[in-house]
Every structure is written in C-alpha cells, then in structure tokens.
Chains A and B, each alone.
Chain A
Amino acid sequence: MHLNFKASLVMAPLIFLLACGNKETSRKDVQSDLTAAISLASEAETFISYIGQGRSTYSFASGHLHYLLNEVNQSAQELSNLNAPPNLTNALNIDRVQLRLLALQIQNVQRHLQQPSVLAASEQQIRQIRTTLVQANSSL
C-alpha cells in the first residue's frame, strides 16, 4: 500500500504531463499545423529562388529538396490521420490540399532543376500556396 502511494506520487505528475502532451485536435493544434505548413512553403519558395539565381550546387539543391519533400509528405501524412471538430474542418482541409500541392511543386522542381522558367513558375505557385495557408490560419 505504502509502495502504491509512493508510485502514484511519482506517476501522477507524469500522467498529467503526458495528458497535456496528447490533447485532442484543437484550434491550437490546427493553427500549429498550418504554421508548420506555411514554414515549409516559405522555405521551398526561398530555396527555389536561390536555385534560380544559380547560387546552389546541383547536389545540394537535389538533396535539400528531397529532405524538404519528405517533411512535406510526413506533415501531410500526419494531417490525414487527424479528426477535427466541424468548425475546424475547413482549415484542416485547406492545409491537406495545399500540402499536397506543395509536394507536387517540389517534385516538379526536382525534375527541372536546371530550367529557370520552370523554377520561376513553381516559385509563383508556391507563393500562392503560402498565401492560401496564411489566409486559412488568420481565419481561425
């Protein structure tokens, strides 16, 4: 009994902390996911502009885009498992769709790394994706 009491003293704060770390999808969580998506889009836009100016090496460009694409796909995968209450569904759907579009744009850039016109067009598309995500975030 004494041991159980001691164990519960130790476990209680841990359980509390774990509970804090594993909340249901809330407005804050969706905002956090949108912020992460905006960050990815902004990074892709910045980096593609850098490549377009001929300032990156080929290996770095293709390697970094590969890692960036993995991040985008992982975020999209995490979002697909989320269930949001009705008032957040729209924002969550925008996030999902825009991340998928972002992944397509990054793949496009990966295939045309040495074509400035494709890079410029993709940069423009990604700017649009970022703007949509920013709007969804500020509407929450």
Chain B
Amino acid sequence: MKKLLGLTLGIMTALGGFVDFGQIVFTTQAGALFGYRLLWSIALGTLAIVVYMEMCGRVAVVAHEPVFAIVRDRLGKRLGLATLIASNLLNLLTCAAELGGAAIVIHLLTGWNERLVLIGATLVLIAFVLLCRFQWIERVFGLSGLVMIVFAVSAVTLHPNWGNLARGLLPTFGAADSSRGLLYAYFAVGIFSAMLMEYEVHFYSSGAIEEDWKPKDLRENFMVASLGSVLGSLLTVALLVLGALVYLPKGIFPDLLSTAVFAGAFPFAQKALVLALLGTLVCIAGAAIETALSGGYNVCQFYNLAWGKNLPARSAPAFASIWIGMFALGAVIVLAGVRPLQLVNFSIIFGMAVMPFTYYPILRMAADKNIMGKHVNTRFDTAIGIGFLALITLAAIAAFPLMILTHAGRP
C-alpha cells in the first residue's frame, strides 16, 4: 500500500505538469487545428520527461543533490543565478496563470464572483500547503486528479479513428502553405515544451528528498516517473483527440479554458461536466502548488538555505516566505487584470528557452561516475539524454521566432 501511495508523487508531478491550464487549452487547440497530427509531439515529450525525471530522481537519491544545487555546481554561479532568476520568473507566471485558471473553474462550478474566488482559492491553497505534510499534498492532488479520466472516457466514447490516431505518432511535414507549416511547428514545439516544464523536475527531485528515498528505492523511482508520466500523457492525448473530434469538424478554435473543459463532457451531460470541472480544478490547483513550492525549493537549494515542506515554517523561514510569496504575487498579477491564458502562452514558450539550462546539468551529474558510483548513467541513458537535450535546444532556439511569426499560434 505504501509503495502504491508512493506513485502519487509521479502522478501529481505529471498531472500538474502535463494537464495544467496551459496544456489543457494548448493541446485542445492543437487537436482542433491539426487533428491527430501532433500526437508524436506528445509521445516525444513523454519519453523525454520520463528519461529526465528518472535521472533527477536518481541524482537526488544517490547524491542528495536536488536540481538547483546541481545547476549552481555545474553551470557556475553567474549562469546558475541567471537560470534561477529565469526559472523562478517562469514559476511565478505559471503559478499566476494556474491561480487564475482555478478561479475560472470555481466560477464555472458555482457562479461565485471570480475575483473573490481568486483571493479565497489562494488563501485556501496557502493554508492547505502550510498545514499538510508533503506526502499528504501529493496524495490528495495525485489521487483526486484521477477524476480527469472523464476526459479520456469522453474521447473514447466519441469513437476516434484508431488507425489515424496511430498514424499521428509519425511527424508529417510539408503543409499546404508556409503559415500553416509554421503554425504546425509552433504547436509541436509548444506541446513538447509544456510536457517538459522545468517545475516538474524541480518538484520531483525535491519531492524524492522530502520523502527520504534511499538507493534501494531506485527501482520504484523509475516506476513512479514512468507511470505518472504515462498517465499524464494519456490524458494529454485525450485532450488532443477531443479537440480533433469535437472542434475540428466545426471549425472552432478553442481559446478559452471553459471551451476545453466543455469538450471533456461533450458526449455526456451535467454529471460529467461537473466531474470534468472538478478534475480540471484539481490539476490546475496542483500545478499552482508545484510552481509555488518549486520557487521556494529553487532559491533555497541554490543558496544552500534550509528547505523542506516537512520542516516547520520557523525552521525554514526563507523557503516558507518564498512559496507563500509566489502564491500572493501570482494572485496579485491576475487581480491586476492580466489574462491567465496570455500568461500561459508566454510561459510555455519562455519555458522552452530556459529548458536547456535546467536539463544539461542534470544530464552531466547523472553521467558523473565519481558522484553517482554504481548508479551512474549507462551509455544508453546518456545517449538518449543527449538526444533529447539536442531536441530541447533546437526547440528552445525555434520557440521565440515561431511565437512571433505565428502571432502566438493564431490560425
């Protein structure tokens, strides 16, 4: 039972990372524009995050080094600091977007005033994180996030063409016109990026240390990383399928969170709609917690300050102030009138640019025999890691020009 509950770290990490506000809207849009043709991007992103999540979990267990301690040691103080600032800015933007998204979902569930809901939800999340131990946070959000399965049920109920779906696993090039080709590339990069958001590995590696994993738990590390990611990935595929089946034939470009949620209940009625809203709320709130805590983890790990959700706030004052500050600032950004979806679009592409600086140090550390001993990367692990790092770097270079040339994905 304990081992089974251990899976919740992987599930919460993956749901918060894969099925957050940005990914929900972005993937539904991709399906509505290109049908199943971007499925390969989800598959590639899933493989990449499994490889790197396993690697950073292993490094955390063997070397007791969480991600940002590695970033500092491997990139040096200046580049490390630049990465820290960029990563935490990204965490803040994402946290703000998720809080805004949570307020939208609660408004859709209850009809309550969205701004008051935003303030209330932020306070509830802060209180919840303050009061609960790390294990309970991941269990509550990991297990209740499974309600999102309603999206997969809806997708299957609408009878996707399985043959076409399988063909989507291979990239297709040569669009009819160049702007359509750029749009295809923009969504491919965006989906890949959204699946590899840095806060997933920050949260996962810190979580492994919070849970006090030992080298004997390494086999479970792989299972937790891969099962959690595969589940998150299946839900992402469901979103793509729903976009393709519900919106593509009608020429609808889903630009609202509520439109994407509506697709999740499309073949059914009110109960499914409520479940889709609840599942979305849990995933989005989980992502807000992941990004806020990651903000605290990153700074404290970089400056070697006391950190840990399971420590009393008094023993880790910097950590507690930073994650609470992330929530508070995030809420202020949304209250100031910035649309959460704008934040999401920007954070997905901005995240891509920062990504190589997060994943490169992890790869180097995991391949270092002096530190990792018998748990060092195999040649195969390193080769795969280098391959994905090359893809991440390519995508990072292409991200900003694609965002500008496609007007941030406007069809």
Contacts and interface: CB of A to CB of B under 8 A. Distances in A.
Interface of A: 13, 17-18, 20-21, 28, 32, 35-36, 38-39, 42-43, 46-47, 50, 53-60, 62-64, 67-68, 71
B253 A57 contact: no
Contacts, number: 81
Nearest to A35: B411
A60 B255 contact: no
B153 to A, nearest CB: 15
Contacts of B108: 59-60, 63-64
A55 B270 contact: yes
Given A32-B410, A55-B269, A60-B277, A71 B404 contact: no
Interface SS majority for chain A: helix
26 contacts: A13-B401, A18-B404, A20-B404, A21-B407, A35-B251, A35-B253, A36-B253, A36-B410, A36-B411, A39-B255, A43-B252, A43-B259, A46-B250, A53-B269, A54-B269, A55-B270, A57-B273, A58-B111, A59-B109, A60-B258, A63-B108, A64-B259, A64-B262, A67-B256, A67-B258, A71-B256
A21 B404 contact: yes
Interface in B334-367: none
B338 to A, nearest CB: 14
B133 interface: no
A30 to B, nearest CB: 13
Closest 5 CB pairs of A and B: A55-B269, A59-B111, A63-B108, A64-B258, A39-B253
Interface of B: 104, 107-111, 179, 250-256, 258-259, 262, 265-266, 268-270, 273-274, 277, 400-401, 404-405, 407, 410-411
A63 B270 CA distance: 15
A50 B254 CA distance: 16
Contacts of A53: 269
